[in-house]
A and B are shown apart, each in its own frame.
Chain A
Amino acid sequence: MTAFRQASYDEPPIFSMGSPGRTGTSEVWVGGGTDGMPKVALPREVAREGIRLPEVSQVEVVRHYTRLSQMTWGIDTGPYPLGSCTMKYNPKVNEDLASMDTVQQIHPLQGLDGIQGALSLMYRLERALSALTGMSKFTLQPAAGANGELTGCLMMRKHFEIIGKPRPEMIVPDSAHGTNPASAAMAGFRVVEVPTGEDGCVDVEALKGAVSGATAGFMMTNPNTLGIFEGRVMEIAGIVHDAGGLMYYDGANFQGILGRARPGDLGFDIAHLNLHKTFSTPHGGGGPGAGPVGVAKGLEGLLPVPTVERDGGEGGERYRLEWCRLESIGKVRAWYGSFPVLVRAYAYLLSMGAEGLRASSGLAVLNTNYFASRIAGIRGFDVPYGGRRRKHEVVVSAERLAAETGIGAGDVAKALIDMGLHPPTVYFPLIVKEALMFEFADSETKEAVDSYVEALKRVSEEAYSNPSGISAAPRNAAIGRLDEVRANHPKTMRLSHRHPQR
């Protein structure tokens, strides 16, 4: 057994800490108080009686959140092979750059003279993303992948409105990320699902049957969520285009073809990227991310406002924000995009270069295929849709293990934790039973991948010999297995310290 032990504190909620009169900072400490300034008397109908917040000193706050951080697994802690999340190393130099005053302490409405650096960086990033995807132009505005998908769906909607033929349907494969159908529905589309064929790819015959004059578009992830490259993508694009529909590329899996193939060349009209996946920006426990969206030639007018434009040539160039775009869908979130995230992604692009990005996808795909090769034959685990090369991710099924030992994918995950390994994505995609979706990023060492192979072997052995040991996992994490039923039952759920009582 690995001697892994995650830090485990009985850390009380902040609301039960501190003592009256203490403070971690105060208005006097932050702004010099209000001496010599008028006191504003508020009328009773708007004045608040008081507010119940804890009173905690600075060192208590620092220790509390430091301890919480220690009970958190990050890429900096160890390998993190969540499928479709591309958990690659987040370079530290990029953090230094993103935290500079010239990034954090600037205002979006400063005069253009004072934001030329920001706009030129955004312009260059936009051009680079366009070149890497074969798209004509990008917006950097969306806050995350799903916000990008919504942007793409809204652009499709607008496109058909402009040509005077609104189309009500969006087609998605059953293997799609949940955000695809959800985003399409947010944009007002009726979602039509097409099945996955026996080869692990979109069932093209079923797609042909689903496509019609009502089809606005087809949302596709390629490589798909099984990690398989959809080899008939150009034929599919032909089918959709022939019916007048548009092709949408979900860039969550762009890592699998980064620097080698471009959505634009594969027949896609609209594509989003996740900078917090493929382009190494940290995910922050769930954001902020960035989900830029690119469009093919002819659709540029639909992009959200403002766009960043360059006037003048090299040397005398000047950048500006263009708000006057008559066909634009408008806006999908505040301001111009997650700027500090954009700075990190730009720095990453420079630190890799074109060949470096190619190497990135090569090594990520090598890692995953190496893993898939090495786990073949481990009792209880299968790789459905076998015989196909994977790209950056692979889905392993623990269905046999579950049937024979009662140990399912969720239990396997908890057993991995006890060996000091962060689990893969579990129970996704929905089309694979007891799914364990592994993605080994370009930055994972061979030894890290090997440790997962050895761990799965051990889990298999234990499942067949002593399954109750696994059911009790994890033992070495900050806390033991948690009661999901209690968390979700209307009678026992507690969603804030004011809930359910008041």
Chain B
Amino acid sequence: MRVLAMLDRHPYLPNASSSMEEMLKIVGCSRVEDLFSDVPSAGFDAGLPAGPMDEASLGRAVCKELSRNAVLAGRCFTGGGPWFHHVPSVIRHIVSRGEFLTAYTPYQAEVSQGTLQALFEFQSFVCELYGMDVANASMYDLATAIGEAGLLCARVTGRRRFMVPASLPRARLAVIRNYLVPQGISLEAVPYSPEDGTVDRDAFRRQLAEGAGIAGAYIESPTFFGTLERDVGGFADAVHDAGGLAVVGADPLSLGALKSPGETGADVAVGDGQPLGIPPGFGGNTLGIMACRGEQRIVRQMPGRIVGMTSERGEGGGGRTGYVLALGTREQHIRRERATSNICSNETLLAISAAIYMALMGRAGLEGVSKAILSRTRYAEDRLRSAGLEPLFGGIKFRELAVKAGDPDAVNRGLARRGYSGGRRLRGDFPTLEKGLLFAFTEACSREELDGFIEALSGAAGEKA
């Protein structure tokens, strides 16, 4: 064991120095290696330096490596997510607290009341925003939330067809497919209108009526292109008439201004929670939102952790209010292959971030942010149109704006030269939108930053390729 002097005094390994000999004596071994005598050992190169790197050198090495990343906050208007929304300072301070940060899943409720209450509040905020009764404590991301929602629909209805709009980006569809197809559920895409990117109503009704009974259908507003579905309720009614469940997606920050999924007939609501006070993190800080109506037949089929409110045990239940993980019999650790999902670890700390965000914003803050995003998107659209950049889709847009560029790659190169991240090329997701670039405008950019970007984009688009 004492290969390197540095290991004897490694700050993360307290017993390496003084206690080891005494412990070995109690165990009845002379060397730590004896504890592994039953493990076949083949020598191998671990692909790492043999010894530990000290803290100062570690900091320098990792900083240096990461300094090759360009930090474009304020200069990144790339659409389709993740987004640069404002992240209030409070959030990082709270979720960096060691108690929240270094806790495990709150299996022992009495010493985990903080995590549990914060998650119950997250669930409550989600229910309020989405107009639902019950939310879970998070999914990995929006894509897996839609996949899980599809599975839920299949379990509740006993049917195996699930419909989604063809306007979903390819990567998201790929995830949904991996959640549904292995269990024999067919995934059907419904065409979107080239006018405004919303689901083609006639095609939707036609597909609904064709083939076997429908388990459920997913529809989202705002769409991936930022446009608004005018009649989510009509879609939900049609799905219900066909005996299926309606799954409705919405951006949480749009819900300060737009009707909630609950108001438009959703049985299940999903969303991408990253806008709720969570930095982009190279796409690595994802938070899936999932909520449902309170009917037992649906609640019992929800995936993931759900925190419930209860009280201290005792006569008449008159004790203090507390929180526990509820409905564990749905979950993998008890139900195993018959569980509603395999999910165990979720995105708890990011759900707590989102709860703090919603608590900070409050009613007026959230309504204000929704409106500020609508305003900025319209402002950018108007100014870009005057500069000759036409939007791909008509109608009101929330945050996302798809524009038509003569030569999208050249425009992105022009933006890069001006120090900006480019637009998301739509060609990869939608072959027919070959010239499309998707941008996003959040409340976090000031008027000056927005003007600076619009100028850069207009300039880049006006250049000779």
Q: At the interface, yes or no: A402 with Cβ under 8 Å from chain B? A: no
Q: A18-B362, A31-B442 are in contact. List 9 more A-B contacts (CB 8 A).
A: A26-B365, A68-B117, A69-B94, A93-B59, A117-B65, A143-B347, A285-B119, A355-B7, A356-B10
- Tell whether B240 is near chain A: CB-to-CB under 8 Å: no
Given A90-B102, A104-B280, answer yes or no on A331-B171 (Cβ-Cβ < 8 Å): yes
| A456 contacts chain B at the CB level, 8 A cutoff | no
B4 to chain A, nearest CB (A): 6
Taken residue by residue from 484 to 502, chain A's Cβ proximity to chain B (1 for < 8 Å, 0 otherwise) reads as: 1011101011111111101
Among B27, B62, B328, B329, residue most surrounded by chain A Cβ atoms (within 10 Å) = B62
Query: Which of A26, A38, A283, A502 touches B104 (beta carbons < 8 Å)?
Result: A283
Assembled-state Cα–Cα distance A357/B10 (Å)? 11
Q: Which residues of A217-231 are within 8 A (CB) of B?
A: 229, 231
Q: Which residues of A contact B183 (CB under 8 A)?
A: 186, 188
CA gap between A66 and B375 in the complex, in Å: 35
Please give the distance in Å from A232's CB to the nearest CB on chain B. 10
Find the A residue at minimum CB distance from B112: A72
Assuming A182-B332, A502-B133, is B113 touching A61 (CB within 8 A)? no
Q: Smallest distance from the beta carbon of A140 to chain B beta carbons, Å?
A: 9
Q: A42-B258, A76-B102, A286-B105 are in contact. Are A147 and B78 (CB under 8 A)?
A: no
| Contact mask for chain B residues 320-354; partner A; CB cutoff 8 A; 1 contact, 0 none | 10111011110111111111011111111110100
Q: Closest residue to B76 on the A side, CB-wise? A: A107
Q: Does B205 contact A (CB under 8 A)?
A: no
Known: A68-B117, A422-B111, A442-B13. A76 touches B134 (CB 8 A): no
With contacts A186-B183, A366-B35 known, is A66 near B69, CB below 8 A? no
Chain A residues within 8 Å of B465, by CB: none
Contact of A373 among B27, B109, B123, B258 (CB under 8 A): B27
Determine whether the beta carbon of B280 is less than 8 Å from that of A30: no
**Residues of the A chain whose Cβ atoms lie less than 8 Å from the Cβ of B49:** 350, 353-354
Chain A residues positioned under 8 Å from B179 (CB to CB): 186
Interface residue A210 (Cβ < 8 Å from any Cβ of B): no
**Binary A-proximity of B18-44 (CB < 8 A = 1, otherwise 0):** 011011101111001101111111101
Q: Contact flags (1/0) for A97-116 with B, using CB distance below 8 Å?
A: 10111111111111101111
Tell me which of B282, B329, B331, B368 contacts A115 (CB under 8 A).
Answer: B282
Does B313 lie within 8 Å of A482, measured CB to CB?
Answer: yes
User: Distance in Å from the Cβ of B116 to the closest Cβ of chain A?
Assistant: 9
Cβ contacts under 8 Å, A496 to chain B: 120, 123-124, 126-127, 133-135
Q: How far is the CB of B453 from chain A (nearest CB, A)?
A: 14
Decide: A282 and B48 in contact? CB cutoff 8 A: no
Binds A, one of B82-90, B211-219, B400-408: B82-90
Q: How near does chain B come to A256, taking the closest CB pair, in angstroms?
A: 9
Q: Mark B145-188, 1 if CB is under 8 A from A, else 0.
A: 00000000000000000000000000110110111001110000
Assembly CA distance A28 to B324 (angstroms): 37
Give the chain B neighbours of A265 by CB distance below 8 A. 40, 42, 44
Contact A26 B284 (CB under 8 A): no
**Which of A45, A347, A357 has the most chain B CB atoms closer than 10 A to its own CB?**
A45
Residue A36 lies at the interface, judged by CB distance under 8 Å to chain B: yes
CB distance from B378 to the nearest CB of A (A): 5
CB-CB under 8 A from A76, the residues of chain B are: 98-99, 101-102
Tell me the bound Cα distance from A102 to B73 in angstroms. Answer: 10
20 CB contacts below 8 A, A to B, read: A13-B121, A15-B124, A30-B86, A43-B230, A74-B102, A110-B78, A117-B65, A127-B47, A154-B182, A186-B179, A260-B41, A287-B348, A330-B175, A338-B284, A363-B15, A446-B23, A477-B111, A486-B311, A496-B134, A499-B134
List B contacts of A93 (CB < 8 A): 55, 58-59
A97 CB → nearest B CB, Å: 5
Looking across the interface, which residue of chain B has its beta carbon closest to that of A10?
A: B320
**Does A197 interact with chain B (Cβ within 8 Å)?**
no
Inside 8 A of B96's CB, which chain A residues have their CB?
95, 99
Decide if B269 is an interface residue (CB 8 Å cutoff): no
Chain A residues with Cβ below 8 Å from B421 are 107, 109-111, 114
B residues less than 8 Å from A284 (CB atoms): 95, 100-101, 103, 348-350
Whether B118 pairs with A65 at a CB distance below 8 angstroms is: yes
Known: A42-B258, A283-B105. A188 touches B182 (CB 8 A): yes
Of the candidates B66, B106, B221, B346, which one forms a contact with A144 in the assembled complex, judged by CB atoms under 8 Å apart? B346
**Chain A residues near B40 (CB, 8 Å)?**
234, 261, 265-266
Contacts of A103 in B (CB 8 A): 66, 69, 281-282
Nearest neighbor of B134 in chain A, beta-carbon distance: A495
B223 contacts the other chain (CB 8 A) = no
Is residue B464 within 8 Å, beta carbon to beta carbon, of the partner chain?
Answer: no
Say yes or no for B97: interface residue by CB 8 A criterion: yes
Task: Give the contacting residue for B447; candidates A35, A89, A144; CB below 8 A.
Answer: A35
Q: Is the CB of A13 within 8 A of B20?
A: no
Chain A residues with Cβ under 8 A from B311's Cβ?
A: 482-483, 486
B58 touches A351 (CB 8 A): yes
Q: Is A1 an interface residue (CB 8 A)?
A: no
Instruction: Say yes or no for B142: interface residue by CB 8 A criterion.
Output: yes
Q: Is B16 part of the binding interface, using a Cβ–Cβ cutoff of 8 Å?
A: yes
- Whether B14 is near chain A, meaning CB under 8 Å from some CB there, is yes
* B102, B119, B263: the one within 8 Å of A75 (CB): B102
A73 interface neighbour in B108, B126, B129, B442, Cβ under 8 Å: B108
Report yes or no: A357 in contact with B349, Cβ–Cβ below 8 A: no
Query: Considering the chains assembled together, what is the distance between the CA atoms of A65 and B447 in angstroms?
Result: 33
